[in-house]
Amino acid sequence: MSDTNWFNEARYGMFIHWGVYSYAARGEWFPNRELVPFEEYKTRYAENFKAERYDPKAWAKLAVDAGMKYAVLTTRHHDGFALWPTQTSDFHAGNIGPMRDLVGPYVAAFREAGLKVGFYFSPASWFHPDYPGPHFRDWPNEGDWKDSGQRDRFIEHYKAQLIELMSNYGKIDYLWYDGCIPDDLQSREVNEAVLALQPEILINERNGEPFHVEVCEQAIKPPAEDILWEACMTLNDNWGYHAGDHNWKQSHDVIQMLTDTARNGGNLLLNIGPKSDGSVPQESVDILTAAGDWLKRNGEAIYGAEKCPFSWNNWGKVTMKGSKVYLNIFKCTGTELCYGEIKNKVLSAKFLESGVSIDFEQKDGRLFLRDLPVPLKDPIATTIVLELDGQPEAIREQTSFWIPG
Ligand code: GLC
């Protein structure tokens, strides 16, 4: 049986996009966008991707400092370059570039740090002889396969790679498929083979059924159904390292995203794009660590948070767990905050970090919190925890489709 408990408790993970494209330093799609031929990709980029300073323990430490609970590494992106020494092709890190396995040390370091371990795997493979072609549009069509023989060989190839990944590295907690391939790559058969080797693994939905997690990309869009879900986001505007991209989100943006995913009962998978040598851009380290410091103070509002019945407001995001409700305040304008959503009786109100009690009154469905300091202490978000008399209930159902977040 797949293990869903850790995923619901975790709420925050590290996505790691790293590979040959990191050497080019202009994002992971560049060979496709620039019509780079295979020979050029191999000699000019793959052979120069050396992973000289690869230190997965430092990545794992960053994830822990950031407050993340799991990680997902690109074991193979659309360029088809395997970060492990696969038997299925020559295009891998044991044979070109780093000349060693990069996946095993990642698994060992993250496990040792107490984190759950995930593999990103893109079935697409731009340079594989049986793939419809290296410079294909983002999403090939059914008719792009030359014939069924080509398609069958391709399926055998990616399945064999997955079997290696699922057999050689001990327990793997999460298989994160990417898309960019025509349906259906015999996903049922392949996923069942994965589950036979890793019975507790979670699988995302991008390669079809059976799956456990629905993912959304660069947006926080909780699914309507009651299913595990995750939003994956970049910290700047690229997944793979891009030397010219300085459009960093800040630590308060990270916490706002995190409260938003948590309040909808989902996880945030936030990306780092290490450089070719394996080092993580300093901006990522600083931003993630500052957000992690906030989590040290207020993580109770995030980890294990459940889907919240409350709607939107104009000062922050509300999370909940059991009979506790957390008001994560980003913008407060005065000493009094009025919240008109809670049906239950409020038993206590306190600042989460200090435990200091807050004066409050409930009247006609309105909760008044009084004598708040102006400005609130925490520049990222100040969290107030309310203890209710039972399972939180909202006064009104959320009905409109246009309301923000
Ligand atoms: C898209 C991109 C890919 C990236 C992924 C992350 O599918 O094609 O480059 O790895 O998003 O979700």
* Ligand 1 atom at minimum distance from 206 CA: 7
| pLDDT on residue 140 | 76
Q: Where a domain ends, among 278, 301, 324?
A: 301
- Whole-angstrom CA distances from 97 to 13, 208, 235, 277 are 28, 33, 27, 11
CA of residue 281 to ligand 1 center, whole Å: 20
Are 4 and 201 in contact by the 8 Å Cβ rule? The answer is no
Question: Tokens representing 304?
Answer: 């294990």
Q: Is 178 in the pocket of ligand 1 (CB under 6 A)?
A: yes
Q: Are residues 231 and 258 in the same domain?
A: yes
Q: Chain-wide mean pLDDT for the chain?
A: 95
CA geometry: angle 346, 352, 358, nearest 5 deg: 50
Alpha-carbon span 124 to 40, nearest angstrom: 19
In this structure, the answer to whether residues 235 and 355 fall within a common structural domain is no
* Per-residue pLDDT at 302: 98
Taking alpha carbons only, the member of 370, 300, 301 closest to residue 335 is 370
Q: For ligand 1, say whether the CB of 270 is within 6 Å of any of its atoms.
A: no
Asked whether the beta carbons of 190 and 162 are under 8 A apart, the reply is: yes
Alpha-carbon span 63 to 274, nearest angstrom: 13
The DSSP string of 107-160 is HHHHHHTT-EEEEEE-S--TTSTTSS-TT--SS--GGGSS-HHHHHHHHHHHHH
Q: Among 236, 268, 301, identify where a domain stops.
A: 301
Residue 273 resides in a domain: yes
User: C-alpha dihedral over 334, 340, 343, 345, to 10 degrees?
Assistant: 20
Q: Is residue 402 part of a domain?
A: no
For residues 264 and 334, membership in a common domain is answered with no
User: Going by CA atoms, what residue is nearest to atom 10 of ligand 1?
Assistant: 239
pLDDT of res. 1: 83
For the four alpha carbons of 152, 155, 160 and 161, in that order, the dihedral sign comes to positive
Q: Is the CB of 180 under 6 A from ligand 1?
A: yes
Please tell me the predicted confidence (pLDDT) of residue 403. Answer: 58
CATH of the domain at 323: 2.60.40.1180
State which of 243, 266, 301 marks the end of a domain: 301
CA of 175 to the centre of ligand 1 (A): 15
What pLDDT, on a 0 to 100 scale, did the predictor assign at position 397?
78
Domain assignment present for 204: yes
Residues 156 and 245 in one domain: yes
The reply to whether 113 and 159 lie within a common domain is yes
**Are residues 287 and 349 both part of a single domain?**
no
When divided into structural domains, the chain yields a total of 2
Strand order in the sheet with 324-329: 316-321, 324-329, 382-388, 346-351
Query: Would residue 235 count as lying in a domain?
Result: yes
Tell me if 154 is assigned to some domain. Answer: yes
Question: Which residue bears the tokens 């294990």?
Answer: 304
Pairing of strands 382-388, 346-351: antiparallel
Judge whether 132 lies within some domain.
yes
* Residue linked to tokens 């989100």: 249
Q: Which residues pair with 177 in a beta bridge?
A: 121
- Asked whether residue 294 falls in the same domain as residue 367, the answer is no
Q: Is the dihedral of CA 264, 219, 166, 154 positive or negative?
A: positive
Answer yes or no: do 263 and 320 share one domain: no
Residues 362 and 228 in one domain: no
Residue 288 alpha carbon to ligand 1 centre in Å: 21
Ligand 1: residue of 239, 270, 271, 272 to mutate (most ligand atoms within 8 A of CB) is 239
Q: What's the gap in Å between 263 CA and the centre of ligand 1? A: 25
The CATH number linked to 240 is: 3.20.20.80
pLDDT on residue 404: 57
Domain that holds residue 291: 5-301
The answer as to whether 230 is a domain residue is yes
- Residue bearing tokens 């050029």: 40
Same structural domain, 112 and 209: yes
287 with 321, same domain: the answer is: no
Q: Is 257 helix (H, G, I), strand (E, B) or coil?
A: helix
Tokens of 323: 């009979």
The pLDDT score that the predictor gives to residue 148 is 87
Distance CA 66, CA 291 (A): 6
Same domain, 277 and 341: no
Residue 179 near ligand 1, beta carbon < 6 Å? yes
Query: By the 8 A CB rule, do 77 and 19 touch?
Result: yes
In a domain, 294, yes or no: yes
pLDDT at 132: 84
pTM comes to: 0.97
* Ligand 1 atom nearest to 15, measured from its CA: 6
- The segments of the chain whose pLDDT lies below 50 read none
Predicted local distance difference test score (pLDDT) of residue 102: 99
Q: CB burial class (10 A; 0-12, 13-18, 19+) of residue 238?
A: buried
Residue 89: the pLDDT is 96
Protein residue closest via CA to atom 5 of ligand 1: 178
